[in-house]
């Protein structure tokens, strides 16, 4: 066999390796697969429409390099909270489409031998990712899904504000990861009309507190196509490449720690859930566990 560019694989990216390399890699080196997801969405006058996807790709690639996890190609498009729909430059998938797409990607990557799936999202789409995770769980796919800013919980450590849209946080990542696509001369502060006092909602990236629900659990905002003039929520003029580097480095560190634990506890070939019934388990029939698990699903 010819020598592989990175030793055991040619690339951290699944789509840049041959099928055989991806299969051998999952079998012998690492069967953790990362799926970066974002969205195609207008990001104000200063950032590209692919910002969320490019942010997810930038984070995922670094995690794949450091942990040895395989990075699956990003599907680019995402699903959106209701208030995003109808914005020029935004191409939302229906919730059902996005959920089905995530399921199909995980099922397909599992055919190549990948057993642990980490979805890294850089966009507010828990409305579909949480559903996909549990549907995949019913089929025996170990899947964790997180949104980078909620996983990081910067809580105004690096940033002056919480995490909104085309704002200080996202623009900082853009300036760190793909500065050539950003025009800071066009960056402007903007925002929508609050419907309720901000104390009732936990902002993306904010540490949770009592008496507050997560931003995406409610219809807290008016339709942005009518309510938001510049397509920005927050203040991108506070962004910098240095802040972006700090955020990326911190969140990559958390993902690496998570994946290292998964790799140590569950070596290659072991599915932490202990069963796999693609498309067939409806939550009622008996489960036949893998031979490396007991009859309660616990790893032997």
**Residue numbers at the binding site for Zn ion (CB under 5 A):** 52, 170
CA–CA distance, 2 with 137 (Å, rounded to integer): 38
User: What are all long-range contacts of 214-219, with beta carbons under 8 Å and residues at least 24 apart?
Assistant: 214/126, 215/124, 216/81, 216/124, 216/126, 216/127, 219/82, 219/83
When the beta carbons of 52 and 139 are compared against Zn ion, the nearer one is 52
User: At how many degrees (to 10) do helices 168-177 and 241-265 cross?
Assistant: 80
Residue 252 CB, nearest approach to Zn ion (Å) = 18
- Residue nearest to Zn ion as judged by C-beta position: 52
Residue 274 CB, nearest approach to Zn ion (Å) = 37
The token pair at 62 is 């670094």
Contact 192, 222 (CB under 8 A): yes
CA–CA distance, 167 with 240 (Å, rounded to integer): 11
The token pair at 297 is 């699903």
When the beta carbons of 67 and 147 are compared against Zn ion, the nearer one is 147
When the beta carbons of 52 and 103 are compared against Zn ion, the nearer one is 52
Residue 43 CB, nearest approach to Zn ion (Å) = 6
Residue 170 CB, nearest approach to Zn ion (Å) = 5
When the beta carbons of 40 and 106 are compared against Zn ion, the nearer one is 40
Residue 165 CB, nearest approach to Zn ion (Å) = 5
When the beta carbons of 75 and 272 are compared against Zn ion, the nearer one is 75
């Amino acid at each position: 066999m010819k020598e592989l560019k990175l030793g055991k694989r040619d690339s951290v990216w699944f789509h840049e390796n041959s099928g055989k390399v991806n299969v051998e890699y999952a079998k012998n080196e690492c069967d953790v697969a990362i799926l970066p997801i974002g969205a195609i969405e207008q990001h104000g006058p200063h950032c590209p429409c692919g910002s969320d996807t490019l942010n997810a790709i930038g984070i995922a690639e670094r995690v794949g390099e450091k942990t040895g996890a395989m990075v699956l190609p990003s599907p680019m498009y995402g699903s959106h909270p209701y208030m995003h729909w109808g914005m020029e430059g935004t191409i939302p998938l229906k919730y059902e489409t996005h959920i089905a797409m995530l399921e199909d990607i995980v099922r397909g990557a599992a055919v190549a031998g990948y057993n642990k799936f980490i979805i890294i999202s850089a966009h507010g789409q828990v409305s579909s990712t949480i559903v996909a995770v549990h549907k995949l769980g019913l089929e025996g796919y170990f899947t964790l899904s997180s949104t980078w800013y909620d996983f990081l919980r910067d809580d105004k450590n690096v940033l002056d504000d919480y995490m909104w849209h085309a704002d200080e946080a996202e623009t900082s990542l853009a300036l760190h990861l793909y500065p050539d696509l950003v025009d800071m001369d066009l960056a402007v502060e903007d925002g929508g009309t609050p419907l309720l006092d901000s104390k009732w909602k936990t902002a993306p990236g904010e540490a949770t507190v009592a008496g507050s629900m997560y931003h995406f659990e409610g219809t807290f905002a008016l339709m942005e196509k009518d309510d938001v003039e510049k397509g920005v929520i927050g203040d991108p003029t506070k962004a910098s490449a240095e802040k972006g580097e700090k955020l990326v480095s911190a969140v990559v560190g958390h993902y690496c720690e998570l994946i290292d634990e998964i790799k140590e506890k569950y070596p290659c070939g072991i599915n932490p859930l202990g069963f796999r019934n693609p498309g067939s388990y409806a939550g009622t029939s008996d489960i036949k566990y893998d031979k490396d698990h007991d009859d309660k699903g616990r790893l032997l």
